[in-house]
Amino acid sequence: MAPFTPRPLRGWRFILLNVVVGLANVVVLSNVPGYTVLGPYAAGSFQGVTPSFATWGTTDHMIGICLGFPIARWLAAQFGDYRVYSTSLLLYAIVSFLCATAETIYYFVPVRIFLGIIGGVILPVGQAVLLGEYPPEKRNLGVGIWGVLSMMPFTIGVFMGGWWSEWYGWRSMFYSNVVIAPMVAAITGSLFYGRQIKRRISRFDGVGFLFLAIVLLAVQTILNQGNDFDWFGWSWFMFSMLIVAITAGACFIVWELGERHPAIDLRLFAYRNYTVAVVASIAGFLVIQGLLSLFVVQLQTLLGYSSSLAGILYMSMIFLSVPVVSIIHQLSRRFDVRLIAFADFLGFALILMWIGCFDKSGYFDQIVFPMTFFGFSLAAFFYSAGVARRIWPAVRPALTRSRGTYAPSHRRWGVRYRAARSCAIQAYALSPA
């Protein structure tokens, strides 16, 4: 029997697919930094809660994205990539409408978590749908384009959030999702209409996923409410969350080590290169995303910038970040990725020292130069997924010998897991401290 090989899209259909999938990727990722800048506006609408409560909408949303990634692979295997993608976009529009109409923080946060879960399904499935249409010889070009699409929201997302909140109200950002997401779903469904899908047997680790969700939500709740409820000074609720997190974390580790098809394969940490890459990415995101999130608030509260002006300052990072993604992708073929990462972290150190000079005063034309160069290093850091692809050939044979078989698609989804873990790290970095 001949292997299942659907006819790929070509011509204007292929170009249109790149445009709409790229647009959806930018919209989903822009909802993360975009909400950060409009958080103070949203706090006033949620019955006058403090801005620290409004940050729950960002941190818990990122936790939702983390939880969406393990679900995405199982859904795509059961129902097909493009069907899951189109359906998730429709659900994203519906939940965005619920976010836009929220009146209390206690209603907004659960809905925002659900929006993150759907976004966590859209991102990896969208990448699979797009790259699956590229011919093998052009696959590297597709990876470079996807890198640019993943980089852009972190430069223009703050501007979009500031622009929406200052001119049309903070709810308008979610209303824009209601318009764009169904349009992308309709176009994607039309392009793939009639294409047969090949169902793949994929087991979902529901127990491990449940433990993971409990750990992430419990730890994030402690970080969210620590300042407001005096950490562990007197609150029984905080102590309860700590006990739940420790207990569920221990159960998660024991379960995943004994599971043949785990939600997150903890055995990968037995390999030195992988462990070093994880530690480096954790440290990098804690520093980079945490400082970027604090700096945008400092610009508005201490330096007197408006939301849109702070967004324009952040958008200056795109001038060097977009071309650098393609350049780093080519350099990684000739030079050791570890050397590129080493040079990149040195660049981060110098640029952050430069930005640190503007603690209490700084004109736009003074700060825009270090922020532009910050985009250079930020783009190189985002290519750290290449490190996972480089070390995978050394990890996969050992896993094959120890566990019998290992699905080839895990290479692609392993990179997506790194992105999910990074979202969790960003959530912790954004937590009020």
User: Would the CA dihedral through 317, 322, 327, 330 be positive or negative?
Assistant: positive
pLDDT band at 2 (very low <50, low <70, confident <90, very high): very low
Q: Look up the CATH number of the domain holding residue 113.
A: 1.20.1250.20
Give the per-residue pLDDT at 375.
82
- Are 134 and 9 spatial neighbours (Cβ–Cβ below 8 Å)? no
Give the per-residue pLDDT at 137.
74
- pLDDT tens digits for 18-73? 889 989 988 898 888 788 777 777 877 887 777 777 778 888 888 899 889 888 88
Give the per-residue pLDDT at 234.
65
Which residues make Cβ contacts (< 8 Å) with residue 236, sequence separation at least 6? Answer: none
Pairwise CA distance, residues 262 & 354, whole Å = 44
Give the per-residue pLDDT at 187.
92
CA neighbours closer than 13 Å in the CB half-sphere of residue 331: 17
Q: Would residue 70 count as lying in a domain?
A: yes
Q: Would residue 47 count as lying in a domain?
A: yes
Q: Which of 79-93, 147-161, 190-204, 404-418 has the lowest mean pLDDT?
A: 404-418
Checking if the pLDDT of 401 tops 60, the result is: no
- pLDDT tens digits for 210-268? 999 999 989 888 887 777 777 777 678 888 888 999 999 999 999 988 888 888 888 88
Give the per-residue pLDDT at 411.
41
Q: Would residue 295 count as lying in a domain?
A: yes
- Are 156 and 308 spatial neighbours (Cβ–Cβ below 8 Å)? no
Pairwise CA distance, residues 213 & 218, whole Å = 8
- pLDDT tens digits for 79-119? 888 889 999 999 999 999 999 998 888 899 899 999 999 99
Give the per-residue pLDDT at 420.
41
Q: Would residue 211 count as lying in a domain?
A: no
pLDDT band at 290 (very low <50, low <70, confident <90, very high): confident
Instruction: Give which of 87, 102, 124, 126 is closest to 35, Cα–Cα.
Output: 102
pLDDT band at 360 (very low <50, low <70, confident <90, very high): low
The identity of residue 272, as a single letter, is R
pLDDT band at 6 (very low <50, low <70, confident <90, very high): low
Checking if the pLDDT of 371 tops 80, the result is: yes
Checking if the pLDDT of 372 tops 70, the result is: yes
Q: Helix, strand, coil % (nearest 5) of the chain?
A: 80, 0, 20
Pairwise CA distance, residues 190 & 192, whole Å = 5
Give the per-residue pLDDT at 86.
92
Q: Would residue 4 count as lying in a domain?
A: no
Checking if the pLDDT of 200 tops 90, the result is: no
Instruction: Give which of 107, 121, 114, 119 is closest to 77, Cα–Cα.
Output: 121
In terms of phi and psi (left: phi > 0; alpha: psi -120 to 50; beta: otherwise), the region of 50 is beta
Checking if the pLDDT of 425 tops 60, the result is: no
Checking if the pLDDT of 139 tops 50, the result is: yes
Question: Mean per-residue pLDDT for 303-331?
Answer: 78
User: How many domains would you assign to the chain?
Assistant: 1
Three-state DSSP class for 230? coil
The tokens for 383 are 């290519």
Tell me the pLDDT of the chain averaged across its residues: 78
Question: Mean per-residue pLDDT for 131-137?
Answer: 80
Give the per-residue pLDDT at 119.
92
The tokens for 99 are 């976010």
Pairwise CA distance, residues 285 & 382, whole Å = 10
Checking if the pLDDT of 415 tops 50, the result is: no
Pairwise CA distance, residues 405 & 119, whole Å = 30
Please tell me the pTM assigned to this model. 0.80
Give the per-residue pLDDT at 253.
92
Using CB atoms within 10 A of its CB, is residue 324 exposed (0-12), middle (13-18) or buried (19+)?
A: buried
Domain that holds residue 164: 12-204+263-426
- 390-428 b/e with 16+ CB inside 10 Å = b? ebbeebeeebeeeeeebeeebebbbbbbbbbbbbbbbbb
Q: Would residue 233 count as lying in a domain?
A: no
Q: Would residue 5 count as lying in a domain?
A: no
Instruction: Give which of 254, 239, 242, 236 is closest to 215, Cα–Cα.
Output: 242
Give the per-residue pLDDT at 429.
38
- Return the percentage of the chain with pLDDT > 90, whole number: 14
Provide the 8-state DSSP code for 271. S
Pairwise CA distance, residues 379 & 331, whole Å = 13
Q: Would residue 231 count as lying in a domain?
A: no
pLDDT band at 384 (very low <50, low <70, confident <90, very high): low
